[in-house]
């Protein structure tokens, strides 16, 4: 039997990141209505379109199966966003979920373009199964880059995902360009591997060559419980996301 989630551990873990954000002039909020999230992100002129796995028109989410994080500055203007969702891969794996396009569309037969395709060659993606929390759509406004916001947002997402789902894995995809530049260090994942998603979505105008990065459920539990520090799980890269 798995141990119960200690709400005090989660509260303390999240409070640390919330306080760090406040020191930088950012107020963080969490929501569950993805129609609202899309309306928020659509109004951000410098942010790319939100991926279909977080859009109700392509991948509706049941209440409790996803959430989003938005941080606003002192003028109440959006400065950072991120989203997360739960995948039930009890009868599949993350590699197959990507290649079938079900990671992006609830019904690929209805929404995928004939030219859409995804290839996942990362060996570890075949081992990512069960309850899988997927984190993505991270964007940081230019004037807040270089100030540690990716670490804060990723920390909040890990804490919320653990509290809501206690997943067996937490994972995300990051472009090979950002990996090459060494700008993924603050995402706080213990593992990363190339070949996560070579993706083409025609109508979305998406063409990706992404690495996969992930934590196991036990690594996540150790982080939130305070048995490990985030910086012990961060790969040896320097820099930050460009949003």
pLDDT confidence band for 65 (50 / 70 / 90): very high
Cα–Cα distance for residue pair 79/157, rounded to 1 Å: 16
Backbone angles phi, psi at 209, to 5 degrees: -140, 90
Cα–Cα distance for residue pair 177/167, rounded to 1 Å: 28
On whether residue 238 sits in a domain, the answer given is no
- Among candidate residues 99, 90, 146, the one with its CA nearest the CA of residue 118: 99
On whether residue 242 sits in a domain, the answer given is no
Range of the domain at 104: 7-233
92-136 pLDDT, tens digit each: 999 999 999 999 999 999 999 999 999 999 999 999 999 999 999
Q: What rounded mean pLDDT belongs to the chain?
A: 90
Residue 203's domain is classified under what CATH number?
3.40.630.30
Strand (E) positions, the chain? 27-31, 66-72, 78-89, 117-119, 130-140, 169-175, 191-201, 206-216
On whether residue 126 sits in a domain, the answer given is yes
Other CB atoms within a 10 A radius of the CB of residue 209 amount to: 15
pLDDT at site 2: 58
On whether residue 117 sits in a domain, the answer given is yes
196 Cα distance to chain centroid: 14
Q: What is the largest CA-CA distance in the chain?
A: 49
pLDDT at site 237: 31
pLDDT confidence band for 226 (50 / 70 / 90): confident
- The total of structural domains in the chain comes to 1
On whether residue 93 sits in a domain, the answer given is yes
On whether residue 241 sits in a domain, the answer given is no
On whether residue 2 sits in a domain, the answer given is no
pLDDT at site 183: 64
């Amino acid at each position: 039997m798995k141990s119960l989630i200690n709400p005090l551990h989660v509260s303390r873990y999240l409070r640390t990141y919330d306080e760090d954000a406040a020191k930088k002039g950012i107020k963080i909020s969490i929501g569950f209505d993805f129609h609202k999230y899309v309306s928020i992100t659509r109004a951000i002129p410098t942010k790319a379109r939100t991926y279909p796995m977080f859009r109700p028109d392509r991948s509706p989410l049941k209440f409790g199966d996803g959430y989003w994080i938005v941080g606003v500055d002192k003028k109440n203007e959006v400065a950072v966003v991120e989203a997360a969702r739960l995948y039930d891969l009890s009868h599949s794996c993350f590699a197959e979920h990507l290649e079938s396009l079900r990671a992006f569309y609830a019904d690929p037969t209805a929404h995928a373009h004939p030219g859409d395709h995804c290839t996942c060659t990362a060996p570890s993606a075949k081992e990512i199964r069960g309850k899988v929390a997927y984190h993505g759509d991270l964007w940081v406004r230019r004037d807040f880059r270089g100030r540690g916001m990716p670490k804060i947002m990723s920390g909040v997402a890990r804490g919320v995902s653990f509290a809501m789902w206690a997943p067996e894995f937490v994972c995300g995809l990051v472009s090979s360009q950002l990996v090459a530049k060494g700008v993924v260090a603050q995402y706080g994942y213990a593992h990363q591997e190339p070949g996560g998603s070579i993706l083409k979505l025609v109508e979305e105008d998406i063409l990706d060559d992404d690495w996969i990065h992930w934590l196991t459920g036990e690594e996540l539990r150790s982080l939130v419980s305070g048995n490990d520090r985030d910086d012990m799980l961060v790969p040896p890269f320097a820099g930050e996301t460009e949003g």
